Structure 1
Amino acid sequence: MIITKYRFLILSIMILFSVKGQSQDKFKGYFEPAIDLSYQVNPKYGLSFGVENRNVIYSDKNMQYTVKQIDLSHFSEYQWHSKYAFGLGVQYRIEHAFDVDEESELRFQEQIVYTPERSGFETDHRVRIEQRLYASVTKHRFRYQLGYTIPLAQKQANEPYLKFDTESLLEIAKTQKPELEQRLGVGLGWFVSSKTTLQFGVEYQLENYTQQLNHELFLLAELGIEL
């Protein structure tokens, strides 16, 4: 039943991997572990703090393991309606310390999430705007993500779930032409306890596909803890 309903997402991922296999464009692979700590202040307001580490594991047709960056982030979210939530975030990306040719980044984020009534699974529509501040330039990015979370065994103590999402991004800046990016992700997670989740996933990104196409594959691992 689940595969039938979401076969278009699975098919899209398979097609993208097939295209990548036939393409001569650049390809990189990353491993990205993360830890997220969240706290629900009251029924309508919650906040979270995250640490994320991105590592290059495949580049220039060679396997390797190189630390690329570390992200420190904070996000606050206000549930102003049963179906709508508004969020504000700030993130600092430490990249110059690992590559002198790159600049570290300060990022501000604003988003609205729309979650329709549940019908056996959860659907999220997220619109996010970002201001990416570097020493040399400021970039503006606009993002739309459609995501599904599907419980697999609701009666089990350690309930597993599937996640599917696709996201479109547009980035503009004075120093570059507008860049478009598309992402497709799939993940498997578990509720280890009532306040702890563990999730593993794969995300495939088509970066700057209207100008200089790059393929990127991310292996994701995230531990979520509710305080």
Structure 2
Amino acid sequence: MTMYCTKWFLIVLLLLPLATVGAQTNLTGYWQPQVAANYKVTGTYSHNFSLASRNYIYDDEALTLRVRQLDLAHFSKLKVRDDQSIAFGIQYRFRNNFEKSRENELRLTQQYNITNKPFAIRYGHRVRTEQRITNSLTTHRFRYRFAVDFPLMGEKLNVGEPYFVGSLENLLSVAKNNSPEYDARLSGQIGWELNRGLKLQMGVEYRMEDYSSSLPQNILFLLTSAQLSL
């Protein structure tokens, strides 16, 4: 079952970007490394801190490597039941430092998450609301994500063994005097638990932004991350 799900996600991830290669004028590629630390305050309350860098690797029909932005974020999460949690987050995006025509952004996030693990596969449903605040505009965004993760060797994840994480997310963005914008995201990553406190992940994410418009934007991410649990 786990190998079937892995193949399904990988096939879809490969086919969707291929459909946009012929229209490279609206295709952008990024490499996004991230480091994150989780700190458990009590058995039900924890903090998460993260720093991510988004870098152009394909833009204006050419290969490149330049920084687009830096994201510094913090989340506070409270477990309300064994399989449910709520979280509140704050993020600051440094973009004007790298692209002078763009504004920096403050983002506030409210989240509800529920998981279910009937067998080796864990299923997750996440609902988020966000307020993206810049000097010129406040955008309200509503997000729903369905995710799966499971070990790739056996039914239990052991130290040093790989695991798979995949997700599908839909987003709605609304702002005053702007038309609603609909986005979709599909991602798949392979991870390794190196020890009881450190995980490494790498994978790809495909985004179709403003897909209801006449010219949706196609975006491909290469993702790498390190997660440390304290």
Structure 2 length as normaliser, TM-score? Answer: 0.94
Partner of 2:92: 92
- After superposition, the C-alpha distances for 1:56-97 in whole angstroms (9 at most, x for unaligned) are 011111111111000010001100011210000000000011
The 1:25/1:177 distance shift into structure 2, 3 A limit, reads farther
- After superposition, the C-alpha distances for 1:95-132 in whole angstroms (9 at most, x for unaligned) are 01111110000000000001023411211100000000
> Once structures 1 and 2 are overlaid, which stretch shifts more, 45-54 or 8-17?
8-17
- After superposition, the C-alpha distances for 1:130-151 in whole angstroms (9 at most, x for unaligned) are 0000000100000000111111
- 1:140 is paired with a residue whose SS is strand
Shift of 1:9: 3.3
Where does structure 2 lack aligned partners over 5 or more consecutive residues? none
Match of 1:192 among 191, 194, 197: 194
Match of 2:223 among 214, 220, 225: 220
Q: Do 2:157 and 2:163's aligned partners in 1 also have CA atoms closer than 8 Å?
A: no
Q: Do 2:3 and 2:152's aligned partners in 1 also have CA atoms closer than 8 Å?
A: no
- After superposition, the C-alpha distances for 1:164-199 in whole angstroms (9 at most, x for unaligned) are 111000000014210000000010001111000001
How does 1:104-119 map onto structure 2 within 5 Å? 104-119=104-119
What is the rounded CA distance, in whole Å, between the counterparts of 1:6 and 1:192 in structure 2?
21
- 1:176 is paired with a residue whose SS is coil
Give the residue type in structure 2 aligned to 1:51: L
Identical columns (%): 33
Q: When the two structures are aligned, how many residues end up with a matched partner? A: 227
Partner of 1:50: 50
Shift of 1:24: 5.3
Partner of 2:178: 176
Where does structure 1 lack aligned partners over 5 or more consecutive residues? none
Shift of 1:14: 3.6
Partner of 1:210: 212
Q: Do 2:130 and 2:141's aligned partners in 1 also have CA atoms closer than 8 Å?
A: yes
Partner of 1:3: 3
What is the rounded CA distance, in whole Å, between the counterparts of 1:115 and 1:155 in structure 2?
17
Shift of 1:226: 1.0
- 2:86 is paired with a residue whose SS is strand
What is the rounded CA distance, in whole Å, between the counterparts of 1:19 and 1:202 in structure 2?
16
